[in-house]
Amino acid sequence: MTLFHDTYSPRAYRNGTAAPGMMSRLLARLGYVKAPTPQPRTVVRARSHGFAVSFDYVAPHLIEDRRIYVVEGKTRPLFSLVSRIAAPAMSIVSVGNFANAERAIAGFEYEKALLVLDIDTLGTTSDAVEALIAFRRQFPDTPVVIGSGSFARHDFSMARGVIADASVRLPCDCVSVALAIESAVGNSTMRFRAA
């Protein structure tokens, strides 16, 4: 048996590896002090060297009482983005076209709705503008987020307030859609306060 072999140590600390209390056990073997019998150690493994941050993309109080309707084309994943960021919403529904969204929103007249629309599915720009103006007249309190591949950039201001409360350039990411939804709800509220 060598000086560094300690049968009381866990297997990971045997055979000459440095372990806490090694010097006191060495001195005890030489007769200077009596070393206490070591207790078996438990290994505490850290889950991570970093830290986890959890946050909501969209403030829950803005959408938890709303039904969100998504109208999109076949190639753009708007529904998956909205469902990822707006989980606290009452419901998130992908509807086939703009007319179905209008019918669905009209069916729940006492509940709040929010429309996320890819306007490229409505045909020409003039067709999209006319359809959205008619929608705004019928449902003035419904926030509208529009998206298009032809927009130069995202716009979360009330610049397009006649047809929408916020707009995003497609394709986009979760953060852009979350900012658009929050801005749309806020801009819609501001429109009613200003009126």
pLDDT of residue 77: 82
Query: For residue range 17-71, what is the model confidence (pLDDT) as tens digits?
Result: 445 466 666 666 666 655 555 555 444 444 555 544 446 788 888 999 999 999 9
pLDDT of residue 98: 93
Contact predicate 78/117, CB 8 Å: no
As a dihedral over the C-alpha atoms of residue 116, residue 135, residue 188, residue 171, rounded to 10 degrees, the angle is: 20
Q: Which two tokens stand for residue 117?
A: 């629309």
Whether a cis peptide bond, with omega within 30° of 0, leads into 36 is no
> 165: helix, coil or strand?
coil
Place of tokens 């753009």: 76
* Length of the chain measured in residues: 195
Question: Which pTM value belongs to this model?
Answer: 0.69
pLDDT above 50 for 191 = yes
Local confidence band at 7 (pLDDT 50, 70, 90 cut-offs): low
Q: Tell me what the mean pLDDT of segment 104-124 comes to.
A: 89
